Chains A and B, each alone.
Chain A
Amino acid sequence: MTASNDEKWIDKKISRRDMLKLSGIGVAGVAIGASGFGGVMKAMGYGVFEPVADSITARNKVDFYGAHQSGIITPVQTHIYFASLNVLVTSKKELQELFQKWTPLVVRLMNGELIVDLTTNTRIPTGDTGEAEGLDAAYLSITFGVGPSLFDKLGISHLKPAELVDLPHFPKDQLQKEFTGGDLCIQACADDPQVAFHAVRNLVRAASGKVEIKWSQAGFNSFPAGGGTPRNLFAFKDGTVNPAITDDKDLNKVVWVDKGWLKGGSYLVARKIQMHLETWDRTSLKDQEATFGRYRDSGAAFGKTKEFEDFDVEAKDDKGEYVMPDTSHVHLARKSGARILRRSYSYASGVMSNTGAHDAGLLFVSFQKDPAQFTTVQNSLGRMDKMNEYITHRGSAVFACFPGVQKGSYLGEALFNAL
């Protein structure tokens, strides 16, 4: 068959039923290849699978294609807009179509382009909402994950990895339904808050009727001029013990899943943690530091002078007391033996209507090979953690973030191809 014949077939409008039949072939295991599938989608008017390439001229750009999704080991940007979504679609097929539609749109956003080109018809709303016009890509990364509830909803529980379960209840959790769970997540991070928000807004709009936002949270991070670990709203450095994003061997141990359809992906844990700034601010510096087990200024562990200097949690002073108090956050976290990649952002969302206190805190985000790593750390903190006095966990969610996408493929393809 010649190329021109192909074109004619592609251009012919086909019914939705035909489309399902055709794509059903793919599911049955007959490889029809990315370009073949693109034809089907194009005839549907989706325009997907004309894969969009990472721009080589775009300014301040993070690449979309690669072994892993962006936004995990991408250098931390200054802003996040995190959205947890519920799906309204009811079949794996429809969700697959949605990710096929989303994939080229995501590349365009990460290129700093409009999600859809403008048309000449001014009688309809524009395809792109427009607020990122004139802004560059701002190191936008977009990370997609699927939550445990998705698999039951779509009747594909057999594809749910055993590790992907809702986190257990932890001591002192005060989880609120409106900040908990979700079928899908979109994590958009950028050095410009409007670019990050624009990405989520437009992806959700493009999926109107297929997904709805369950909860979302904006957040920020600020870096000292010379670089270094950002401080959270308690003024302490956050993320000091992270694995280096350049250490592949270590990342394979801590972050990347190495089996099943999620191979090359990672588990994202999100926790919305309210920080009681008013009580913290009336706590002496000495007590604040004892709460963390680190010095506020340098970030060094107790008994050390430099932030990244290693420490022994079991070390004791002449009197036989722990150098790093055994109720301190860092002591308990380290003692758990588990490691995670932290990628958190602070938030400030007005005031609590019931108390008038700051509604502020940390959108804790961590990536790990297995959510159990987070659970181990959190259980170790338990009731002992001196930090509990100053924080309340309000929201929680866990998502399996797809592996990276190769050109010609689409987000989550391995999941949709799994039988």
Chain B
Amino acid sequence: MKNKSLLSVLVVGGIIMTGCGNTEEAKKEEKPATEQAQPTAEVDLTTELTAYQQFALEQMDQFLMETENFVKLFKAGDIEGAKAAYAPARMYFERSEPIAESFGDLDPRIDGRLADIQEEGKGEEEWTGYHKLEYALWEENTTAGYETVADQLLADAKELHALVQTVEVTPDLMMTGAVDLLNEVSTSKITGEEEIYSHTDLYDFKANIEGAEKIFEILRPKLEAKDKELVATLDEKFKAVDDLLAQHAIADGGYISYEELTEEHTKALAAAVNQLGEPLSQMGIILE
């Protein structure tokens, strides 16, 4: 991870490092015994669960920092600066969405779209979070009048960050999470319905895929042992999606506007995601 050094600054002596150390020790002592004595016992995914938890926590650390930065720019009235910080900051959230989502009303408060809020029968005044600021920046071309929304976003991001420290990662959360990330792409990112003002959907798209790929990478050794062909297929299908996305990349790791995509582009992307989703949904075979 590129933010590793930063992470260690943030969490020295914290839960992550302690938890990690414990697991490593425990694994060394227990694993041989487990393998020999109880070959049919429930598959031990301790290492994988810890690795994923660490990944999610790193993402959340980074998300909080980038959100702080975004809010600072926004409140300073730096429209261009805030616009530039918007999509990259959100990618940390999108990558770890299976975790972020597990906290009921925080997800809509941070990531809710006006359409979602209205669907719940709520009024526009109850709309908060990133997408409301997206509206301010791209539709209204202002930051004035949205300061309290920005403050609320930062408060919510802090609350999420605190809650995530306590989250328990389960095998189901990982398996389902990987497929859910793809479903997110298939249902809202590929249709341009996530970022209707900024049209930065491809950033979210990329982050969702990276989030799923991380889960696959963590599970790779277990999958290799069970079904090499599935691993080869997943490698191939992830690459196909990544290659297609790369065609729409611009400098600095960014992506072109969703509006520049033709129907042929979105169709090709959607097909590649669906072809990835089928084999990805088979990762549960390691729990057999």
Contact = CB atoms under 8 A, between A and B. Distances in A.
Interface of A: 16, 44-45, 88, 119-121, 123-125, 205, 208-209, 212
A97 to B, nearest CB: 13
A124 B275 contact: no
B260 interface: no
A44 B229 CA distance: 9
Contacts, number: 36
B229 A124 contact: no
Contacts of A205: 278
A124 B284 contact: yes
Nearest to A206: B278
Contacts of A45: 227, 229
Contacts of A208: 274-275, 278-279
B237 A121 contact: no
B140 interface: no
Contacts of B285: 121, 123-124
A44 B227 CA distance: 11
Nearest to B274: A208
B175 interface: yes
Contacts of A121: 284-285, 287-288
B282 interface: yes
A210 to B, nearest CB: 9
A212 B268 CA distance: 11
Contact of A123 (B227, B229, B271, B287): B287
Given A208-B275, A209-B275, A212-B271, A125 B229 contact: no
A177 to B, nearest CB: 11
Contacts of A120: 288
23 contacts: A16-B229, A44-B229, A88-B275, A119-B288, A120-B288, A121-B284, A121-B287, A121-B288, A123-B171, A123-B172, A123-B175, A123-B284, A123-B285, A123-B287, A123-B288, A124-B283, A124-B285, A125-B281, A208-B274, A208-B275, A209-B233, A209-B275, A212-B271
Interface in B200-250: 227, 229, 233, 237
A44 B230 CA distance: 12
A56 to B, nearest CB: 34
Contact of B278 (A88, A123, A209): A209
Given A88-B275, A121-B287, 5 more contacts: A120-B288, A121-B284, A123-B284, A125-B282, A208-B279
B281 A124 contact: yes
Contact of A209 (B172, B237, B281, B288): B237
